[in-house]
Amino acid sequence: MNESVAGSAGSLILYDSSLMVPAPHICWLQPRWWTSQSAVKAEMRGRGSAIVVQSPVGLAVLRRFRRGGWVAPLLHDRYWRWSAERSRGFQEFRLLGRLRAMGLPVPRPLAASFEPAGPFYRAGLLTRFVPETRPLADIADELTAVEWRALASVLQRFFHAGLVHPDLNARNLLLDNQGQWFMLDFDRAYLRGRPSAGRQMIQRLARSLRKHAGPAGLAGFDQHLRDLV
């Protein structure tokens, strides 16, 4: 993957120039543009404003960054403006690139936007769509012991790499038809200089599963993941 930065309509776009030449326009980071092109193929359950679009470089997922917590009703999708390098989209784009370079199963980043608006900015992220997958939230009760062990192994690889994921939940883990697990949505995630313990991330995943999984799924988690560190 080759990183390049381009300006478009007063914004900056960080993109993978090994796939996109010339640089993508800022409209690629706007859901309404894809809607106007009749290119929206699906909405992603549990992923905020994420949509699947048919882009010139194949199926892709566009996610707009949204505020959470008590500040969400006030600022919605606006963040205090610092530099583009510190923006949510640019940071997640680069983290995905680093994780992929480590051989970890994450989507390929395609483009990220930094869209200044007065003292604030807005941001979007476009990633390669991972086909034929189902989220852990929908299949926890169906998983075999082999699939649970595969998930435990993948999580250990992320933790060993030093990943800190602040929102590891049952919709951010996908299983494909080949038995491969993928991790998604790395907003505010980062890599430490040493392996992560993983305890808080596993606890966050447990809380998520209690909302989505039945007895079989919770039993699988208890057997294979609860003590994972």
Q: Which of 107, 128, 149 is where one domain is finished?
A: 128
Tell whether 8 and 115 lie within a shared domain. yes
pLDDT in tens, 104-137: 999 999 999 999 999 999 999 999 999 999 999 9
Q: Are 23 and 4 spatial neighbours (Cβ–Cβ below 8 Å)?
A: yes
Catalytic residue among 16, 77, 138, 167: 167
- For 160, the domain range is 133-224
pTM to 2 decimal places: 0.93
Rounded (10°) angle between helices 215-224 and 145-161: 50
Write down which residue in 105, 128, 151 finishes a domain. 128
In a domain, 116, yes or no: yes
Is the CB of residue 189 less than 8 Å from the CB of residue 166? Answer: yes
Pair 162, 195: CB distance under 8 Å: yes
pLDDT in tens, 3-42: 999 998 889 999 999 998 888 999 999 999 999 999 999 9
Does residue 229 fall inside a structural domain? no
CATH code of the domain containing 174: 1.10.510.10
Query: Are 185 and 212 contained in the same domain?
Result: yes
Any residues with CB less than 8 A from the CB of 12 and at least 6 apart, and which? 5, 6, 84, 113, 114
- Planar angle of CA 68, 204, 31, nearest 5 degrees: 40
What's the domain count of the chain? 2
Predicted pLDDT of residue 75: 66
Q: What 8-state DSSP symbol labels residue 33?
A: H
Tokens representing 68 are 């959470």
Assess whether 102 and 213 both reside in one domain: no
Shared domain check, 146 and 124: no
Q: Of 113, 128, 143, at which residue does a domain stop?
A: 128
Examine the residue annotation and report whether 167 is marked as an active-site residue of this protein: yes
Check whether residue 138 and residue 111 sit in a common domain: no
